[in-house]
Amino acid sequence: MPLILEIKGNSLDDGPGIRSVVFFKGCPLDCSWCHNPESKRTVAEMSYDPAECVGCDACLDACGRGALSRDGAHFIDRDRCDMCLECVEACPSGALSRVGKPMSVQEVAAEIEKDLPFFRTSGGGATMSGGEPTMFMGFLARLLARLAESGIHTIVETCGQFDASEFEREILPRAGAVYYDLKVFDDDLHRRECGVSNARILENFRRMQPECERLGKELLARVPLIPGVTATRENLEAIAGFLKSCGASRVALLEYNPLWLEKSAKLGRPSPCASQRSMRSWMTRAEIEQCRRAMAGLQIV
């Protein structure tokens, strides 16, 4: 059973209409700029938000392991913490919280089905995100099947690092659409910035394109725009060339959001990107327009 970070309702950014987004915890990639760093690891974690802390020290008194200290670099000594959650229960402000909780297929589906009236009136549905939902193929397949029984349109967002045969057998017949992230085209740079080779990711996309066309399923490539990494003319032109060689005609560009930097700090593992000035601000409209021009020949959605 995977851990679920959140089921976010009333979303307008992860597919058509009003959607509920299920965030799975765990990812096979380790992107240096990950916008959901809390989703990287498959295990539950502790988060500390100093902006919410009222300084009452109730948590320090509750922690029997001595894992909390105002003199520590990140307040929580995560090597000492045994996730007993007594500090979370004692915290009156919500500054301390558990990241990730187990939920069954039935529990996730029941939460999503509460929004059925919004899906029906807006043409929306449920989007599986993360992290990487395909790390949990069996769970994901059962959830998609359950939602299909309720007439809920589904989208699977993926980084593409999965077993293609299992995906085609378990996920593709049940998913309404697949949103497929392509980040870095150069393999050496992909290894450096994302932690793994992109060979399987590119191979899987090339394989999925004709299969999705045959099944009448939408396969939408998406490129997150990361200053100095993915948002370069060389990288975007290379991805555009690859997509066209696969027969794809559309692509989505995901604008950079610097707010993720705060999330890393709350988990006690600040990103090395935090010191880069370009990573701490939003991209300008001119920069985004340059990225759009680099994808010439593709419809940008």
Boundary residue ending a domain (99, 134, 165)? 99
pTM above 0.85, yes or no: yes
Number of Cβ within a 10 Å radius of residue 126: 31
Q: What is the CATH number of the domain that holds 294?
A: 3.20.20.70
Together in a domain, 276 and 166: yes
Q: Is residue 1's pLDDT more than 90?
A: no
Together in a domain, 94 and 188: no
Average pLDDT, the chain: 95
Q: Is residue 255's pLDDT more than 90?
A: yes
Q: Is residue 275's pLDDT more than 80?
A: no
Specify the pLDDT at position 145: 98
3-state secondary structure of 164: helix
Together in a domain, 150 and 234: yes
Q: Is the separation of the CB atoms in 220 and 177 below 8 Å?
A: yes
Q: What is the CATH number of the domain that holds 83?
A: 3.30.70.20
Boundary residue ending a domain (67, 83, 99)? 99
pLDDT band of residue 151 (cuts 50, 70, 90) is very high
Containing structural domain, residue 279: 3-42+100-300
Number of Cβ within a 10 Å radius of residue 120: 14
Q: Rounded to an integer, what distance in angstroms lies between the CA atom of residue 193 and that of residue 20?
A: 30
pLDDT band of residue 164 (cuts 50, 70, 90) is very high
Specify the pLDDT at position 258: 87
Q: Is residue 63's pLDDT more than 80?
A: yes
Q: Rounded to an integer, what distance in angstroms lies between the CA atom of residue 241 and that of residue 297?
A: 9
Together in a domain, 195 and 60: no
Together in a domain, 233 and 107: yes
